[in-house]
Structure 1
């Protein structure tokens, strides 16, 4: 799996789903992409949609903190996944998030630390 870093905006509020004994927070991140041609940046006509999954505390904190339209930075490992029946199997790329944060070039944030288990509130 390769490490990816993406920036973009959330297309929808985070969705928390139960997967066996754990919860997975799913995000859709829309990234405006482009390329330089003859020294000028040319945006692509269609933005790229990234599917992101976060587990454990990262997923819980993302679900509690992020909302549709928020500017984010995601770092994680990308892989291909499949779904559907054999006759109708579909494939897509998913980023398993290692880190998710607000993109402070386009937003401000108020940080609240999680309490550690060994500390009294």
Structure 2
């Protein structure tokens, strides 16, 4: 099966919410994207209808989203797009667009940002110290 990867620019509609999914954490937020077009006849910019996406970011990416993003931030998200169809309480079929993020960042066309590398965590094993891994990820044992 071929996955559809897209890059979407928009604004966070809510603060990042983190939940546990099995043994992994997933962070979710809503991303609003409003297309803007120049209307030649009137000489004015016109906003189109806002499209809303649910963005899911897993594990370390999700933790970094939680620590970095706030409601109203302009962001760029690249990931796998999926349409989820479900039935609401009124019995109507609803389609929700979900973007499983592969990468997320502030939109630097809208402002400035400072990058800070995530802290690395050292873990000990019976064989000795292990290789450091980014916070939120399992550290690997050193090669023998």
Distance 2:93 2:24 in 1: 25
SS in 2 for 1:61: helix
Name the residue aligned to 1:72: 75
Note the C-alpha offset of 1:83.
4.4
**Equivalent in the alignment of 1:21:** 23
Deviation beyond 6 Å, 4+ runs, structure 1? 36-41
Q: Per-residue CA shift, 1:48-82, capped at 9, x if unaligned?
A: 11111000100000001100010100000001224
Using the TM superposition, name which of 6-15 and 26-35 deviates more: 26-35
Structure showing greater radius of gyration is 2
Residue pair 1:34, 1:41 contacting (<8 A) in 2 also: no
Taking the aligned partners of 1:99 and 1:41, their CA distance within structure 2 comes to 34
Is the 2:52–2:97 contact (alpha carbons within 8 Å) kept by the matching residues of 1?
no
Q: Is the 8 A contact 1:53 1:94 kept in 2?
A: yes
Structure of greater relative contact order (alpha carbons < 8 Å, 6+ residues apart): 1
User: Contact 1:32–1:43 at 8 Å: present in 2 too?
Assistant: no
Please, which runs of 5 or more residues in structure 1 have no aligned partner?
A: none
The worse-fitting range, judged by mean Cα deviation, of 81-90 and 29-38 is 81-90
The number of equivalent residue pairs is 120
What is the aligned-residue RMSD (CA, Å)? 2.7
* TM, length-normalised to structure 2: 0.70
